[in-house]
Structure 1
Amino acid sequence: MQTHPPNLIPSRLAKRSHYDHETICSILDEALFCTISYSVDNRPFSIPTSFVRYEDKIYIHGSVGSHFIREIEKGITVCISIMLTDELVVAKSAFSHSVNYRSVTIFSQAEKMEDIETKKAAFEWLTNKIVPNSWEYLRPMTESEVKKTTALAFSFEEAVAKTRSGMPNDEKEDLELPIWSGLIPIPTQRLAPVADEWSKNIPLPQHLI
């Protein structure tokens, strides 16, 4: 029987948990943002940020002067959470309403990227995730910009995914009630780009079409 660290065992609906690498990576690759939570002097902090997965680590970046970055780069344990919402689950009673979702929770410690080339690679991976195929199109980062930015990596060896899918789970005695129940899809989608005043006469690049 496979065992997992206590803080990765959900207190409810454990059957929705997944520990396999493929499920976890699929969620990490689709999500653009995560929330990193940590504690300093018994005070809780929770910061949303963009991230990218490359092989078996996820990477974030931030200013070298950021209080958030300077605290977690010390190697304290953080909790990283990611959630993708797919559908609102509308039941025949408010008690049975739910959400179809895919989430990942990670417990990890930051590894600071000291090598300049590794930092640049992490910035490229993240940039191309947020705006696919854009890195080569953009003005290259200067050495000064690279030095002013910290790149941190986190292993996700200690991670669990949790998901829900399907229709409402109404109580048996509610099924015949004349109340509508079902799913309301809430897809995340990218719409047409909108140029700023300096770019109105510049053709939209191919990677944004």
Structure 2
Amino acid sequence: MLSTTPRTTLGRKKHRAVTDRAVLHAVLDDGLICHLGVVRDGVPLVLPTGYGRDGDTLYLHGSTGAASLRKASEDLDVCVTVTLLDGIVYARSVNNHSMNYRSAVILGKAKLVTDADAKMHGLKVLTDHLAPGSWEHAREVNAKEFAAVSVLSLDLAEASVKMRAEGPDDEADDVGADTAWAGVLPVRTVFGAPEPSADLSPGWVIPPHVTDRE
């Protein structure tokens, strides 16, 4: 079960809260990008960030020169969110238009991963999340690259999940009047056909770990 702290308890639409930890894992695994929120110099800052999950640990990464990651690693509370849009809900009234979605919010203190083996593991988790199969296919991280990247870990102990997966919630009078179309327009994220780099040497065939995602 997910934690039920004051910070992760929904204030509105409580019936949309999901407390199954497996659903949190599924939302994180289905997403491709998160938003990392930190307070820097007294100002809130929210940035898109790459991530990957291993069990109940979330890994984040970026350049060692990124001020947001340096701030996030300073024993401060951070907020990470992942949102998946599943549909646009058209209602009979403009006020009742909505979205179907799955969202996760994780709160806690991000830790800078300094152990070399643990840091390399975090980079593998991040790579496998965004581009499965690439860790084995592409060149290894070299020493210069390894030194230039920061990896943070964030425990999933304090998290909440909220979901909407339903049709329009129209007022009875609007349903009776029947003056506008109502329903759901599904939204899907799909992969297109791979586009080989123009500087590939002749003879390359697109590898299975790329084509399998189409």
What TM-score results when the alignment is normalised by the length of structure 1?
0.95
Q: In the alignment, which residue of structure 2 is the partner of 1:197? A: 198
Cα distance in 2 for residues equivalent to 1:171 and 1:33: 36
Report the identity percentage. 30
CA separation of 1:94/1:72 partners in 2, compared to 1, >3 Å: closer, same or farther? same
Indicate yes or no: 2:37 matched with 1:37.
Answer: yes
Cα distance in 2 for residues equivalent to 1:48 and 1:96: 29
Give the letter for the 2:206 counterpart.
Answer: L
Q: In the alignment, which residue of structure 2 is the partner of 1:183? A: 184
Q: In the alignment, which residue of structure 2 is the partner of 1:128? A: 128
Q: Please give the per-residue CA displacement for 1:139-198, whole angstroms capped at 9, x wherever unaligned.
A: 111122112111100011110000001111111111131321101011011111112211
Cα distance in 1 for residues equivalent to 2:16 and 2:201: 48
Give the letter for the 1:135 counterpart.
Answer: W
Cα distance in 2 for residues equivalent to 1:40 and 1:137: 38
* Matched-pair contact (CA < 8 Å) for 1:116–1:146: no
The number of residues matched between the two structures is: 208
Q: Which consecutive unaligned segments of at least 5 residues does structure 1 have?
A: none
Cα distance in 1 for residues equivalent to 2:142 and 2:201: 26
Question: Cα RMSD between the aligned structures?
Answer: 1.5
Indicate yes or no: 2:160 matched with 1:160.
Answer: yes
Cα distance in 2 for residues equivalent to 1:41 and 1:207: 43
* Matched-pair contact (CA < 8 Å) for 2:108–2:155: yes
Cα distance in 2 for residues equivalent to 1:127 and 1:73: 21
Cα distance in 1 for residues equivalent to 2:25 and 2:208: 28
Bigger mean CA deviation after superposition, 96-105 or 172-181: 172-181
Q: In the alignment, which residue of structure 2 is the partner of 1:96? A: 96
Partner of 1:123, secondary structure, is: helix
> Deviation above 4 Å: which 4+ runs of structure 1?
none
* Matched-pair contact (CA < 8 Å) for 2:53–2:129: no
Q: Please give the per-residue CA displacement for 1:12-43, whole angstroms capped at 9, x wherever unaligned.
A: 10111122211111101111111111112321
Partner of 2:69, secondary structure, is: helix
